[in-house]
Amino acid sequence: MDTKVLYVAAVVIAAVSGGYYYYSGKQQKLEADAAQSMTYSAENIHLTQTHEDGQLHVKATVDRLAQDMQQKTASLTNLDASLYQDGVVNATFKANKAQSFDDNNKVVLSEQVSATKLLTQGQMQLDTTELTFYPKTRDIETDKMVIVQSPQAEFVSQGLKANLNEGQYEFFNIRGTYER
C-alpha cells in the first residue's frame, strides 16, 4: 500500500474522530446549559426553619412548589405558614397561591389570603385577595380591599401597610365599627 494512501486515510480518520469528540463535547455542554434553566418542583412540603441561634423562625406547609433557580423565583400552591418570635407563634399566613421573587426577599400571596397577628388581647385577622410580604423586614402591604377583625374593631380598609416587628399598621379609607 502506498504511503500517500495511508497518510490520507490517517488524516480522514483523525478529522472524523476529532469532529466526533468536538461535537459530542459540545452536546454535553448544551445539555448542561439547559439544565441550569430548569424549573424544579416538589409536592407536599413541610418546612421548618430556625434562626442562627437555633430559635424556631418559620413552619410552613405547601401542597406544590415550582422553583426557577436561574430567575430566583418560586410559585407555591396552598401555603400555610406560621412565623415565630422568641419561640412562640406570632403571625400566620394562608393563601391559595404565592409567588416569591428575588430569592424569597419578596413574597406575593394571592387568592383567599388570610393573615393573623397574635396580640396580647387576642388576635387581629386580615383577609384580602392579595398581600405582599417582605420576610427579612417583616413588612406587609397591599392596595386591595382588606377586611380586618380584631378584639377592638371590625372594619374594611382600601389598602394596608404594616410592620409585624413594630406592630405598626397603616390602613387607608377605613369603614367600620370600633370599640365593640
Q: Give the three cell numbers for residue 111.
A: 387568592
Q: For residue 150, what are the contacts with CB-CB under 8 A and spacing of at least 6?
A: 119, 122, 123, 124, 125
Average pLDDT over all residues of the chain: 81
Q: What is the mean pLDDT of the segment spanning 62-82?
A: 89
Nearest by Cα to 80 from 44, 104, 55: 44
What is the mean pLDDT of the segment spanning 58-73? 88
Q: Which contiguous run of DSSP H or E holds residue 71?
A: none
Cell numbers representing residue 159 in the block: 389598602
Task: Give the span between the Cα atoms of 124 and 119, in whole angstroms.
Answer: 7
Q: Considering the entire predicted model, what is its pTM?
A: 0.71
Q: Which is nearest to 37 in space by CA: 13, 16, 67? A: 67
Q: How far apart are CA 141 and CA 161, in angstroms?
A: 4
Q: Which of 9-13, 53-57, 81-85 has the lowest mean pLDDT?
A: 9-13
Pick the range with the lowest mean pLDDT from 10-14, 88-92, 103-107.
Answer: 10-14
pLDDT (0 to 100) of residue 159: 93
Phi, psi of 29 (to 5 degrees): -65, -40
Answer whether residue 37 shows pLDDT above 90.
no
Q: What is the mean pLDDT of residues 53-79?
A: 88
The kind and range of the H/E element at 73 are: strand 73-85
> What confidence score (pLDDT) does residue 1 get?
47
pLDDT in tens, 134-143: 988 889 999 9
Residue ranges per domain, the chain? Answer: 39-178
Mean pLDDT along residues 112-124: 88
For the domain 39-178, what is the CATH code?
2.60.450.10
Give SS3 for 133: strand
CB 132: neighbour CB atoms within 10 A?
A: 19
Q: With a cut of 50, say whether residue 127 has pLDDT above it.
A: yes
Q: Measure the CA–CA gap between 145 and 127, rounded to whole angstroms.
A: 8
**Amino acid present at 95:** A
